[in-house]
Amino acid sequence: MKKLLTALVALLLIAAVATSALAVKMYVTTDQAKVRKSGSKTAEVISRLPEGGSVEVIETDGNWSHIEYVNKKGKKRSGWIATKHLSANAPHKHTWSDWRVTRQPTCAKAGLKEHTCTTCGVTKTKEIEKAKHQWGQWTVTKKATCAAAGEKVATCKKCGKKSKKKIDKTGHTYGEWAVEKPATCAEKGVRSRTCKVCNNKETEELEQLAHTPGPWTTLVPLTREADGERAYKCTVCGMEVRETVKAEPSLARKDKGELVKTVQTMLGALGYNVGKLDGIYGGKLDAAFSQFARDNDLVFAEGWIKPAQLDALVSAWVASIPAEKWMGVNDSLVLTADPAGKPGDVLSFNWILTNDGFDACTLKAVLMGKGADHDFRGDDIVALMGDEPLKAGTANSLGGAFSIPATAAEGADVLSFRAVVENDKTGEIWLSNAATYKMAG
């Protein structure tokens, strides 16, 4: 009978579409009826239509009908639907009663509910989701150890179903570390410890010990022209350890900071074009210092200004200061310079400069000369350059350290150190007191 009705609907549709220029309005008889891209069971499903929805049939081949419909977004679309899901008559509109639970859900089985159309008597049934399990307390059935995971179980109070959960392994319980191989200055050592529960063994490297230095031996003497090199032999393993002794201060291309700015300032004061006073060692500074070196018979390799060349620059700058700007010693500027180690190939000093009551100023250099009475006006000097601001008033101070090769002090009984500062207001040049160091012998 159903097949007969389907065939009849198809014949009526074919006749209606063939004899009418307009589309034929039909109704969907199945909920969620599939609309496909073409008239074939294997064609892609592009939409689903609700029962009772209206469509317009454009053409039909009997089994499949080409339709136009309005989707959920209110846009007109077209597709193909099985002709058996269409009817010329609007479907009956059910008047449903309230839902009635016919089987209560449990945690073991889903429940059921139904409602009935009050006009036609059709009944629809729906499933009610299962209830949640009511789990009891967790019980440990297998304890976790550092060797294996454990397990715990809980049972549903209603249906008796059991739920199992993994308990992660515990951490090892290690004993004390025991040294298996002591570290030396020649090689690393090894230590280990063992778990008291599962006997798992953990090992760890011990860092190599520092060498025990013997007396230093000079390999290459430090000069103001170049770095030196020294070495010692470890008194434990006999290994020779070498160390570079840096000649300071020196500058290299791309260096930045106040020392670079001081060099730029001094070269500028001597009439060389250094460009912007930006504290960056670039091509402009190289070109200016190269010209300075030629003018003063210095050997200069671009990209690296050596300490001896900085000494020459400071000497030239000091000598160029006009007499009216050179104010001599100011009692408010007090310099101390104390040895920082035993005399050897390198002489090291710590220094502190205080400014008690003098105007605010800027440190330009700490100078060293031979002899106790030194005016630092063009003689052979060793310079530690700087460009640091020094405020006025009690306890305002600057400090630092420097090293010079012992060869720089050859022939001197006493070394004399003075700080050179520039008054920030007047541009006057002042010297600190002379801090002296008596050479041994």
**pLDDT higher than threshold 80 for residue 268:** yes
Closest CA to 379 of 343, 413, 418: 418
Note whether 387 and 365 are within 8 A (CB).
no
Confidence of residue 228 (pLDDT cuts 50, 70, 90): confident
pLDDT at 134: 92
Q: What is the pLDDT of residue 404?
A: 82
Which residue in 400, 425, 387, 428 sits closest to 261, CA to CA?
387
pLDDT tens digits along 316-335: 888 888 888 989 899 999 99
Dump pLDDT digits (tens) for 162-218: 999 999 998 899 999 999 999 999 899 999 999 988 899 999 999 999 999 998 888
Alpha helices (H) along 132-229:
none
- Phi and psi at residue 111, in whole multiples of 5°? -95, 180
Q: Which residue did the predictor score with more confidence, 271 or 403?
A: 271
Query: For residue 19, what pLDDT band results from cuts at 50, 70 and 90?
Result: very low
**64 phi, psi to nearest 5 deg:** -125, 145
Q: What is the pLDDT of residue 441?
A: 62
- Percent pLDDT > 70 in the chain is 93
Integer Cα distance of 172 and 152 in angstroms: 21
Cis peptide before 221 (omega within 30 of 0): no
So what's the pLDDT on residue 328? 86
Contact (CB, 8 A) for 344 and 216: yes
Classify 294 as helix, strand or coil.
helix
* Rg of the Cα atoms in the chain: 49
- Residue 55 pLDDT > 90: yes
pLDDT confidence tier of residue 37, bands split at 50, 70 and 90: very high
Q: Which residues pair with 203 in a beta bridge?
A: 192
Q: What is the DSSP letter of 168?
A: P
Dihedral sign of CA atoms 210, 216, 218, 221 in order: positive
